[in-house]
Structure 1
Amino acid sequence: MTGHVGGARPRGASPAAGRGGFGARNVWLYFAGFLMVFGGLMMVFSGISAIARDDVFIPTPHYAYAFDLTGWGWIHLVLGVVVFCAGPAVVRGALWARVVGLALAGLSMVASFMWLPYTPFWALVLLAVDALIVWALCTAPGLAD
């Protein structure tokens, strides 16, 4: 018995809707949370490598944004840890985590853009991951409900 009058489910309702299962809402939140954990780990690793050895990265000369590589490493490390920690809260469906996730993914996109002269491929991968995080968090129903 499904708990609905007459034993039938309302039209358009999925079996997982309303019980925290693997419904459409949760799919996008799981996707965004997984990408946040993955993207956070990638940022942590790039931050550690920038902090550990400055000679690993070769900056492009005459780049408009010339920043200290160790400073960027700390920014990536801290931002990566925060993004990584917010990922599981997004999976649990916390509204505050979705809002924080959107803000963090936006900050991460800016940091990855500024990271382009040091590791172009890695920065582009992080930009793509962050764009998918923003898309998944905005696509999942329930943010404006």
Structure 2
Amino acid sequence: MIKRFSLFGLLILMGCATNSSITTSFPVEIANAFFVTHENQTTFTIEFQQKLPSHIKLEKLYFKNQEAVLIQNSPQSVSATFEKPDLILDSNPKNEYGNQPAIHFEPFYKLKDTEALMEYFKNGKIKRFKITNVMEKSNK
């Protein structure tokens, strides 16, 4: 009985581990990946060489210890917006009432400042792809 339970638990853990792995290629070539920061908001844009196939559903983007939902801008472009809360800073602590604490996101993969992790579904299975050499563009 214990052996069956141990084997079952091991199989579940192995299945979870394979779901969280990073794929080495994405079905559509990425033409450009960049971000623009303006005040308390960062917009990350991914442009593809061609239209995404219907069996690919983009979900989230992880960037600089933050997480955001990917939004389709066009058949070949998606973006994610990361916002930092506007804080009231005052010498009188009563005036700071209403400030929300920062939401700390603990990344499950270590990423450099020039890397992002895109999460997507392919044929109903969750996949992750690391985007490298991300460039910052001027907001002017």
With the shorter chain as reference, the TM-score category is under 0.3
* The structure with more helix, counted as a fraction of residues: 1
* The structure with more strand, counted as a fraction of residues: 2
Taking structure 1 as the reference length, the TM-score comes to 0.26
Taking structure 2 as the reference length, the TM-score comes to 0.27
